[in-house]
Amino acid sequence: MHMPEDRPILKVRNLRTRFKTDRGIVTAVDGVSFDLYPGETLGIVGESGCGKSVTNKSIIRLLPERVTQYDPDSNISYHGQNLLELSERQMRSIRGNDIGMIFQEPMTALNPVFTVGWQIEEALKYHSKLSSSRRRDKAIEMLRLVEMPNPVKRMDEYPHQLSGGMRQRVVIAMALCCSPEILIADEPTTALDVTIQSQILRLMDDLKKKTGTAIILITHDLGVVAQACDRVIVMYAGQVVETGGVRDIFHRPRHPYTRALLDSMPKPGAAGHQKRLPAIEGMVPSLFDLPVGCRFADRCQRRQPACEAALPELVDPETKSVTRLATGRTTPSVRCFYPLELRQTKERQV
């Protein structure tokens, strides 16, 4: 894949998202920074509660304003403006137009009482100047683009008449109808069967190549990451713990958490059949009660006394220099005092 331009279209810096709750203030996203480049698929992977969805809902500002606080030095820079400072009115023209969204459960993203065609046309009505008949043509064209069978007939059908895979195609068509520069896909295939999942992943990849849209793909599924992403951010308890190219992450993981996650997946093949899986013992710490040191320390097999004393920063695993910002396209970074050495990780076979 070639990169037309090597300047990020989205720069996230020190994103800290806090929620006011009955039990006090909780920091769901704690200092996340990254760049998104045109035409790439950036994967954000982690387990429930790691902050991957909140990160992206912060970008499109879909969190309830009343209970959400962003740190003053948090910055999400898109075409020179800080998205965190825009009014709801300004955000509305960015959502859909410049940044499209796909969510996990297509049924909740679609309105059950309107036809598929009506819903795609509605997006065009707000974000384009097309006449109503042109809008219908464009909507049919979008359904054709997402390889919907019988696009003309489907225009007049309601969401309940479609299967899960077809609904997700409609949602993708809606998200892409204004040719957004960025597409945020939050667990887009989690609710789908595997054969349909592979269809949708292939479709997203085809569309990315055709339109050059940059994709942020949020998922808990490492298999999906390996199949679909160019770069990967691994999150744990609200923080980035490792970033790198997809090959770095899968073949040369440096953070003990990344490595443990990969190892704990059951793999087809005779080698590990009916053997105990190398599980990660314990649980993710509560965001209300975070340790002083490394957040993964109590589950980590490489834990040393230093890990519990202070929180490691994101560093370049080779030079150990602080990268702090998990930015740039190529530099890997890891939040660990004792990252896995390259020779240790080389033994990892997928």
Partner 1 sequence: MSNQSAATQSSPPPAEAPAPMVRVQNLVKHFPKRGGILNQVIAKVHAVNDVSFQIRKGQTMGVVGESGCGKSTLGKCVIRLHEPTSGKVFIEGTDIGSISSHALRKIRSRMQMIFQDPNSSLNPRMTVEATLREVIKLHQVVPAGEVDAKINTLMTKVGLRLDDRKKYPHEFSGGQKQRVGIARALAVNPEFIIADEPVSALDVSIQAQVLNLLMDLKEELGLTILFVSHDLKVIDHFCDSMLVMYLGNIMEEMPCEDIHAHAKHPYTRALLASNPVMDPDHRAELTVLEGEVPSPYDPPAGCPFVTRCPIKTARCEQENPPLLDHGNGHRVACWEVKLQ
Footprint of partner 1 on this chain (CB under 8 A)? 47-48, 149, 163-166, 193-199, 201-202, 220-224, 226-227, 229, 246-247, 250-251, 260-262, 264-270, 272-274, 276-281, 283, 350
The answer to whether 242 and 253 are in contact (CB under 8 A) is yes
Quickly list H helices, the chain.
52-59, 88-94, 106-109, 116-127, 132-145, 151-154, 164-176, 194-211, 222-228, 246-251, 256-263, 305-309, 342-346
Compute the least distance from the CB of residue 319 to partner 1, in Å. Answer: 25
Of residues 79 and 202, the one with the C-beta less far from partner 1: 202
Q: How far is the CB of 88 from partner 1 (least distance, A)?
A: 34
Nearest-angstrom CA–CA distance, 270 and 144: 43
Minimum CB–partner distance for residue 48 and partner 1 (Å): 6
> In angstroms, what is the minimal distance from the CB of 272 to partner 1?
7
The smaller minimum CB distance to partner 1, of residues 33 and 53, is found at: 53
- Residue closer to partner 1 by CB (options 207, 246) is 246
> Residue 262 or 326: which CB sits closer to partner 1?
262
Minimum CB distance to partner 1 smaller for 25 or for 265: 265
Q: How far is the CB of 228 from partner 1 (least distance, A)?
A: 8
DSSP for 103-166 reads -S-HHHHS-TTS-HHHHHHHHHHHH----HHHHHHHHHHHHHHTT-SSHHHHTT--GGGS-HHH
Task: With CA atoms as reference, report the closest residue to 118 among 168, 176, 159.
Answer: 159
Whether residue 52 contacts residue 235, with contact meaning beta carbons closer than 8 Å, is answered with yes
